[in-house]
């Protein structure tokens, strides 16, 4: 705001809640500008004091409204407020419209952590950014994500849509390492080995049955998952569509740690026979047996737990496949 004659001596701008907007005089005390951006769809009250060209004091009160966006980017994340996740949890923010100003989005998303750890975003597309720290989260820490996107123009004429906070807690530190060569899974809790579980993972041939190498993260827990070969492009062999118990999803493409209740018990710890998943011994039935190796591992798992596969003849997991961004070096994140 500005005056055509005279000078401003004081300007007070308040928002709808009565909070004063920071700003300063400029251009020879003939104009006032806010220090930061104003909120969209908001009304502001203005009290201005000054002197006219003859030096006489004057004052005026007025108001104005900011624009109401006709388009927003429709942001949505993968966090449930108040939930607890494993140390490998990645915060994923997706948009319904393309984001052109990625830097503006990153400035509008901040993280509060008790240890002050830096959290950065990595864009996989114009509609998808993942956030994580350099290393796994600290067990027991509470993390708050602040979204201040409502007044951010993320693309021409498109605004961020939301101002909100999401708080989650990191649970105990559970990391499991699957060795495809020894057919064993080593389970660590709070950096101490607590169990070694016989497993069977991806068969070496055909290639489409190979397990991925790399660090993956539990994305979902499903007590009984329908696994359909038609949903996995390029998967060789006979078609199948079966219910599988105690399923922990690791990738979008269909990698799981799950109960295997069809193979002979002698397979576990000795052979790799799966279509790329990690199978643990389980009992017959859609839901298996909660007391089986698969059932016990499932019950003790949570979304965000880390599972690393090594020594597979398969390729490395793509960082965009599931919550696998930990495979991207921090220098490139």
Q: List, by residue number, the catalytic residues.
A: 258, 277
User: What is the Cα–Cα distance from 108 to 217, expressed in whole angstroms?
Assistant: 26
Q: Can you list the positions of beta strands (E) in 199-253?
A: 214-217, 220-228, 241-249
Task: Determine the distance from the C-alpha atom of residue 134 to the mean position of all C-alpha atoms in its chain, rounded to a whole number.
Answer: 14
Contacts of 136 (CB under 8 A, 6+ apart): 87, 88, 173, 175, 306, 326
Long-range (24+ apart) CB contacts under 8 A made by 128-131 are 128/92, 128/93, 128/94, 128/95, 129/92, 129/93, 129/99, 129/102, 129/105, 130/90, 130/91, 130/92, 130/93, 130/323, 130/325, 131/90, 131/91, 131/92, 131/93
Q: What are residue 33's DSSP bridge partners?
A: 24
Q: What is the DSSP letter of 200?
A: B
């Amino acid at each position: 705001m500005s005056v055509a004659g005279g000078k401003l001596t004081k300007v007070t701008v308040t928002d709808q809640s009565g909070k004063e907007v920071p700003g300063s005089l400029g251009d020879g005390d003939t104009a006032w500008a806010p220090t930061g951006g104003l909120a969209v769809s908001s009304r502001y009250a203005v009290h201005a004091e000054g002197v006219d060209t003859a030096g006489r004091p004057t004052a005026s009160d007025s108001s104005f409204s900011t624009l109401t966006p006709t388009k927003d980017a429709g942001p949505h994340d993968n966090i449930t407020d108040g939930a607890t996740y494993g140390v490998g949890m990645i915060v994923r923010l997706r948009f319904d419209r393309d984001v052109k100003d990625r830097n503006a989005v990153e400035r509008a998303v901040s993280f509060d952590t008790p240890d002050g750890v830096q959290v950065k975003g990595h864009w996989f597309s114009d509609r998808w950014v993942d956030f994580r720290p350099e290393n796994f989260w600290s067990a027991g820490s509470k993390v708050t994500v602040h979204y201040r996107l409502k007044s951010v123009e993320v693309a021409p004429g498109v605004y961020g849509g939301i101002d909100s906070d999401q708080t989650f807690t990191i649970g105990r530190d559970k990391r499991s390492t699957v060795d495809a060569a020894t057919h064993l899974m080593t389970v660590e809790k709070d950096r101490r080995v607590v169990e070694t579980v016989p497993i069977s993972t991806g068969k070496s041939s055909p290639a489409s049955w190979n397990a991925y190498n790399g660090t993956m993260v539990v994305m979902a827990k499903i007590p009984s998952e329908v696994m359909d070969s038609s949903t996995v492009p390029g998967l060789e062999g006979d078609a199948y569509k079966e219910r599988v118990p105690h399923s922990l999803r690791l990738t979008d493409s269909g990698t799981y740690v799950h109960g295997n209740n069809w193979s002979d018990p002698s397979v576990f710890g000795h052979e790799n026979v799966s279509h790329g998943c990690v199978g643990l011994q389980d009992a017959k039935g859609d839901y298996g047996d909660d007391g089986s190796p698969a059932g016990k591992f499932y019950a003790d798992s949570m979304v965000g737990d880390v599972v690393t596969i090594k020594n597979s003849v398969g390729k490395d997991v793509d960082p965009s496949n599931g919550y696998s961004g930990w495979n991207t070096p921090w220098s490139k994140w």
